[in-house]
Structure 1
Amino acid sequence: MENILEINDLNVSFDTSAGKVKAVRGVSFSVEKGEAIAIVGESGCGKSVTAKAIMRLLPSPQAKIEKGSILLNGENIVLKSEKAMGKIRGNEVGMIFQDPMTSLNPTTKIGIQIAEGIIRHRRISKKEALEHAIKMLELVGISQPEKRIHQYPHEFSGGMRQRVMIAIALACRPRLLIADEPTTALDVTIQAQILQLMKELQQKTDTSIILITHDLGVVAEMCSKVVVMYAGEIVETGSVEEIFSKPTHPYTKGLLKSIPRLDMDKHEKLSTITGTPPDLLDPPKGCSFYPRCEMAMKICAEHKPEFEAVSPTQYSSCWLKHPMAKNRKQFV
């Protein structure tokens, strides 16, 4: 199928008073037309930085894309000017930000906030844009949209504000939607409604989705492919079925073991990944997960494992896949 987005060897760093933080290191993945993929991992692993790099919303001059390409419909947007990116954001690529209360302007009516992107990209009148805003509110399941467009964000509940964010992101019918933790601040019932809404909109509009989350339950509900990130790198990718049933990287296995299960005994403790992520001011020489891995070998500390195929659709970066690792004593 056609790739809407293709990222190759993306490297992003931040200049700080303590030195250069290498936040994203050699990230590569693609998104096909109409596909929903998830990027998962602990806080600080580089998920949101990768998303903001795609949108070219990294803080300047502190952040810098040092290396790599981001191909959107075959064009490398890393090389595009800010003026050119202004035509892409909201039009070709939409984004749902993590916290709708801080993303929405508290002093501007909801209808205007939805309409401003439509006016900018579609070159239509304010009246026509507001009519389209009403249709977008209907699309995301908000009742009485004719009344709601004249209200302010504080007059909406958390779930309704998130629906407004989705309406803004989809107002110009972008081909790619990036959702950064879209259900984090919502209760379980509203979370399920938002996920169902996103699935329905994807089917109606054939929009590709990148879902950024640390909630693997959300991934199983929404996506067909998973990208697992750790310490700014991709450590494993595969279909949802492969990642959930046949994970190969110890970090992926640790994430899955930490999910609460309905069949757990009430006295059973949740599994945790001990230790903390590495300091990205000075990333490890070998495997980034080495200090926290129960299966770590000597070679893991000294050499970075290759990102190799486990199956035609699953790839992993781990020395345990090496033929000689069957006799771990040779590597320990």
Structure 2
Amino acid sequence: MGFQQVLFSFNLVFSIRFFEDFLLHDLYELAAFAERQANADRLKEGITVMLSLVEVKCRPWLNGMELLEDLQRNKHTLSSGDKGTDSLLQGGLREGQLTELVGPSSSGKTQFCMQAAASVAEKQDGSVFYIDTGNSFSARRIAQFICGSSDAAALRKRVLSRISCHTVYDIYTVFDTLQGLEVALKSQVKMNVNECRLRLLVVDSVSSLITPILGGSGSQGRALMVALGYLLKKLAHEHNIAVLVTNHTVGTGENGKTKPALGETWKSIPHVRLMLSRDHRNNNCTISILKHTSMPSGQTVRTMTRKDNQQCV
């Protein structure tokens, strides 16, 4: 179904006549309306098509030189807190990009996120917006990553005060949370507020939000997944934020290996995809590049294990 047909169908109830009208309406309300119609599958497929056009229509017109200047001036790298990973990524997590960390259960994804949050709040002198979808955020664990030569208690207090944790359990609440964040960020820009600006946004994990809505043959789940990815990338680009999300692995890919969850549609969304693996026999961890905008895939480095991490208490 083309977007003109979708607009006609929604116009009967919501007075949507133009593409801009579609963008101004609540996606969940439109999806619920489509679900009740006889041609629900075609309408939901149309919504997916419409959302795929959003990024094209909203993409700024910039030439290559302007993009390079923006990268050098505004899109800095942030240390992940792990020397091996920072070396692999030539500095760390890039502002303006969405980095996805993929790994099986108990591979250390949450630890990596908390370590990155502690590093940004301590060393980059910025704030962190942490979305916890699995009730796994631990302020005590983050405090253990913070090492100060003097007055450690004051340092931990300062760092922890810069990390804002938001516990959510479904994708709809995440949209509300991110839209509220976007409003706050735009207000700061208008007020020219630069003190301790937001530098890292963490979503641990994105797969636990999306997997429950991907069931069945309908396209509503995929539409919400694309919309979430677009919103995260939009926040990253417009506000020079490094976005870090985690994803689990499923099934087997080529050569009998596990592969990232969420399928081909999500695969194209992250700028950078990293695979985290843990050998539980010796507790060694490695991170490898699955996808990167400026580096070849396949490069691998050993990361810090729980035994390697010096815990400051």
TM-score norm. by structure 1 comes to: 0.40
> Comparing both structures, which one devotes a greater share of its residues to helix?
2
> Comparing both structures, which one devotes a greater share of its residues to strand?
1
TM-score norm. by structure 2 comes to: 0.42
